[in-house]
Every structure is written in structure tokens, then in C-alpha cells.
Amino acid sequence: MLGIPPDHPLCRLFRELVVRRFYGDAQVRDPDVARYVSELLVEFAHVRNLYKIRDARGRPLEDVGLMLVESNPLLEGRSFDREREVRKHIGDYTLFFTGLFPEYVASLPRRQRVDAFVDYVKAGKESYHIVSCFDQFEYRDEAPLFRRLSENFELCVFGLNLVKQDLERMRQEQYHRWRSALGGAGSTPPLL
């Protein structure tokens, strides 16, 4: 994470929204999954973390299709640890985009990108499943979490869709408060 303390308002906001939506409407009553997803939202609040996977030339990868190639130890992948790292990121990336930006994912077939041919949900589920198969040594304790993320991927996407609705509602409410504070509806604030 970015070194943001767990009691930071952003962390508390995402934790509260994810827990409420996951435990309520989405029926994902798993504290580890909820914690992971809320921490993912905080991590991806900074765009450099969203595009942290780089190719051999150091260029950030934005297409899941290119990330899949980068993860494969028989193609571009450098090692099995690299495969796990990239597959984890693919799971995170696809969960984030399908949950919070489904309209972007839906527009991919109209774009001239490798991702026009990638099913984000399938790639995310599969990637989390592959990460869960790394269940030995230092990865043993994390493997069950990634198995549950894979098994509940669609429910997590649904929960994040609801979190997005909550964030949009909060933004609208704040806009109306600011507008009222600046002179009410219909009036424009004075120029300085």
C-alpha cells in the first residue's frame, strides 16, 4: 500500500462501504475478502499502482491481454514468482475495473486494443485461481484468500458496483451542499 495508515479517512471510507455492501447485498460475508478489496481500492487510489506491471523494456502495461503474455513463464514471464505477481495484479486490475468502471470494460470491443478480445471476468477469476495454486512456502497462508476471491469474483464485482453507486450518491450530495453554501441553486458564486 502507499503507506496510508489504516485509520486514514480514505481507508475508513472504503472499508465501511465494502463491508456494508459485501455483507449486505452481495452476500460475501468474508472479512478477509472484504479487507482485501477495501485495501485494493486504497492502493489503486494512486494511478501508479494501477499500472505497476511493466514489460521487459520498462513500459507500463495497460492491456490485460499483454499482462497475460507477461505472466506466462513460457512466453514473456521471467519466473514462476513473476507469474504469480502478474496474475495477482490481473485479478486486482480486472476486479477494480469491472466493479467500478463497467462502462469502460463494456466499451473495450469498440477500442483498438488487445483487451477488446479479453473477458475481464474470466481473466480475473482465472488469475486469482492461479495465484491460489501457489500454496507452498511463503505463499501458503495467502492461497485460501485468493481461492475465495476466484470463487466469489462475480459477487465481488457486484459488491463493487454497489460501492460505486454509493460513491456517486455521496459525490452528488456533496455537490449540492457546496452549491447551497456558495449561494443556492440558480445563483453563481461571486468572482474574486
pLDDT at 13 over 60: yes
Q: What share of the chain is helix, strand, coil (3-state, %, to 5)?
A: 65, 0, 30
Q: How confident is the model at residue 181 (pLDDT cuts 50, 70, 90)?
A: confident
Q: What is the percent of the chain with per-residue pLDDT over 90, rounded to a whole number? A: 76
| pLDDT score of 184 | 64
Q: Which residues contact residue 104 at a Cβ distance below 8 angstroms, ignoring those fewer than 6 apart?
A: 97
Tens-digit pLDDT profile for residues 33-50 = 999 999 999 999 999 999
**CB burial of residue 129 (10 Å; 0-12, 13-18, 19+):** middle
- DSSP character at residue 113: S
Give the span between the Cα atoms of 88 and 176, in whole angstroms. 39
Amino acid, single-letter form, for residue 174: Q
Which has more confidence, 38 or 189? 38
Mean per-residue pLDDT for 17-35? 96
- pTM for the whole thing? 0.88
Q: How many helices and strands in the chain, by DSSP H and E?
A: 9, 0
> Radius of gyration over alpha carbons of the chain, in Å?
19
The total of other beta-carbon atoms located within 10 Å of residue 31's CB is 11
Give the span between the Cα atoms of 88 and 124, in whole angstroms. 9
Mean per-residue pLDDT for 79-83? 90
Residue 5, helix vs strand vs coil: coil
Tens-digit pLDDT profile for residues 147-174 = 999 999 999 999 999 999 999 999 999 9
